[in-house]
Amino acid sequence: DGGITQSPKYLFRKEGQNVTLSCEQNLNHDAMYWYRQDPGQGLRLIYYSQIVNDFQKGDIAEGYSVSREKKESFPLTVTSAQKNPTAFYLCASRRREGQNNEQFFGPGTRLTVL
């Protein structure tokens, strides 16, 4: 089955530790995105990537880093510089042509920093 997988579903880390969230897609999509969701707020864009080895900052990139070494993978690292890392993180992807600009979302990862 084609889709987007995020692992793990729940993640706990101690304050001051870096943590990497996984996002993999087998949809052959070109663009990938990372969003953060906080209670009472909509999703906010962290980083996005249009092609392999290229990515751009979104609206709230501070304290985060990404890489895009493979088309199907777009891992997000939450660094110790991120002031409030506890949140729900969603990964999305989109094909270059067709599908009317729809972004497909993964199931998300809930990160809790203790």
Residues near another protein, by CB under 8 A: 30-31, 33, 35, 40-45, 48-51, 56, 58-59, 88, 90, 92, 94, 96, 100-103, 105, 107-108
Per-residue tokens: 64: 């985060």
Mind giving me the DSSP string for 18-35?
-EEEEEEE-S--SEEEEE
d(CA 104, CA 27): 10
Minimum CB distance to another protein smaller for 18 or for 102: 102
Minimum CB distance to another protein smaller for 73 or for 80: 73
Minimum CB distance to another protein smaller for 43 or for 80: 43
Cross-strand pairs, 31: 94
In whole angstroms, the minimum distance from the beta carbon of 105 to another protein comes to 4
In whole angstroms, the minimum distance from the beta carbon of 64 to another protein comes to 16
d(CA 50, CA 71): 10
